[in-house]
């Protein structure tokens, strides 16, 4: 399916208020922002970095959605409302993912290289959720409204709160599975923090 057709189709499938393709095309800021991003990303990849940034800022003004031209966004992504949404340079958003207004796919300011989140296929990032750092949101995972996510979220779980914790696994409140996943997330989180500290102290001792 072509990019436009798939983008409009995804909106109609996910938003019961979308009545026609023309309405989607004319009134959904997410569709405009994603279309603009295709050109910004093209310019970015072909070395026209300043032009790419100017183009993406121009569309930020019209849509209130800020997508860095370097971000990789597959077709079939749905941005609903979108106002205040920020997507960082090294973020990856796969097909079928849904992002609402106020979401940040941002950096911590401490990571280098890949420093923004990866959102896998079909994941839902609810309104005003803040996903920070090079974390991965697994396939079909759900992030609750206003959650702050600082560590990986496995596939098909729901996380809510600050910092975001698992509350459902495959849609069920399975306490044992939730406990096991949370332990794994915590140990992975602290291992990555230790690696980061080691890297920083090595770097400062080399100066």
- Contact between 126 and ligand COA by CB under 6 A: the answer reads yes
Among 26, 54, 145, 197, binds ligand COA (CB under 6 A): 145
Q: Closest CB to ligand COA among 110 and 170?
A: 170
Among 29, 100, 119, 166, binds ligand COA (CB under 6 A): 100
Cross-strand partners of 165: 160
- Contact between 163 and ligand COA by CB under 6 A: the answer reads no
Helix (H) or strand (E) holding 105: strand 104-106
The Cα 138–Cα 67 span in angstroms is 21
Size of interface with ligand COA, in residues (CB under 6 A): 16
The Cα 120–Cα 123 span in angstroms is 6
Least CB distance to ligand COA at residue 108 (A):
22
Q: Closest CB to ligand COA among 59 and 100?
A: 100
Going from the C-alpha of 161 to that of each of 20, 64, 87, 126, 171, the distances in angstroms are 36, 25, 21, 12, 17
Rg (CA), the chain: 18
| Footprint of ligand COA (CB under 6 A) | 81, 100, 124, 126-127, 142, 144-146, 158, 160-161, 167-168, 171, 173
């Amino acid at each position: 399916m072509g990019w436009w057709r798939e983008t409009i189709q995804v909106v109609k499938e996910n938003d019961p208020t979308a009545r026609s393709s023309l309405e989607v095309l004319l009134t959904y800021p997410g569709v405009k922002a994603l279309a603009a991003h295709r050109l910004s990303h093209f310019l970015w990849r072909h070395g026209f970095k300043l032009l790419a940034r100017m183009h993406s800022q121009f569309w930020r003004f019209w849509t209130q959605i800020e997508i860095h031209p370097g971000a990789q966004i597959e077709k079939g992504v749905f941005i609903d409302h979108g106002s205040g949404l920020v997507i960082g340079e090294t973020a990856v958003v796969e097909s079928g993912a849904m992002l609402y207004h106020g979401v940040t796919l941002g950096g911590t300011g401490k990571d280098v290289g890949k420093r923004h989140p990866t959102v896998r296929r079909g994941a839902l990032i609810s309104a005003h959720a803040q996903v920070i750092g090079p974390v991965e949101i697994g396939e079909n995972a759900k992030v609750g409204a206003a959650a702050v996510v600082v560590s990986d979220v496995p596939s098909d779980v729901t996380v809510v709160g600050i910092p975001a914790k698992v509350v459902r696994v495959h849609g069920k409140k399975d306490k044992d599975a939730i406990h096991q996943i949370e332990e794994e997330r915590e140990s992975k989180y602290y291992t990555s923090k230790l690696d980061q500290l080691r890297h920083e102290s090595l770097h400062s001792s080399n100066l």
